[in-house]
Amino acid sequence: MPPSEQQLAWVRPPQQARSQATLTRILDAAEALLAEKSWEDSAVQEIARRAGSSVGAFYARFHDKNGLLRALQERFLEEAFATADAALDPERWEGASVAEIVSEVVAFLVQIHRERGALLRALQLRAATDHDFRARFVHLTRRIAAGLRSLVLARRAELTHPQPALAAEFSLRIVLAVLLQRLLLGDEVLGARVLSERQLSAELTRACLAHLGVSSP
């Protein structure tokens, strides 16, 4: 286990109390509804009702549902950037091996995709056709890749891959590609067995460590 006793956790930056209350309720209601329906089937009236608000209050803040989806992405990314910076802080991993870092980070990414899966699915589907949505996700991915690459390169003596920086970035690409496929299509797309969160984390960790040239923990 890494020396830090604190588990990786999702970070929610402080908000401006009352001025954010209505907006937060609307965003929370919309994300909760996404766990039950697609974005296209999620009606403004239902979102407002669940938020304990009115349709008028909704349209006072958003021009349409596209504006709401953009606000959902902005909130998610604000939290994700803060989470990435905290999770990949070098001080957090002082004394930890590559295997320990990869194992915990992979498990954390799997957990996030389970907990925020409905929202991520809606955002990724929009990113497929919206350049701005896609560019924002690219920025986040590059931040995560830079942090992970830095941690791995500080321990390059543990690796056998001839290009450690490339290996670190490609390992992250493996993880995110598998999680995206699972998010959009499910395990059944290749006729594969449905994996538990623990099994998926273990298999992704093995794949990453094998690519890096590190023995599994």
Mean pLDDT of the chain: 91
Confidence of residue 187 (pLDDT cuts 50, 70, 90): confident
Distance CA(142)–CA(121), nearest Å, equals 20
Amino acid 14: pLDDT = 62
Residue tagged 């490339």 (tokens): 166
pLDDT at 100 over 50: yes
pLDDT at 217 over 80: no
Structure pTM?
A: 0.88
Query: Are 99 and 55 part of one and the same domain?
Result: no
Domain, as residue range, for 31: 12-62
Amino acid 19: pLDDT = 47
Residue-wise pLDDT for 133-172, tens only, equals: 999 999 999 999 999 999 999 999 999 999 999 999 999 9
Distance CA(214)–CA(156), nearest Å, equals 10
Residue 3 in any domain: the answer is no
HEC-encoded secondary structure of 35-74: CCCCCCCCCHHHHHHHCCCCHHHHHHHCCCHHHHHHHHHH
| High-pLDDT (> 90) share of the chain, % | 80
**Count: domains in the chain:** 2
Query: What CATH number is given to the structural domain containing 43?
Result: 1.10.10.60
Query: Are 100 and 207 part of one and the same domain?
Result: yes
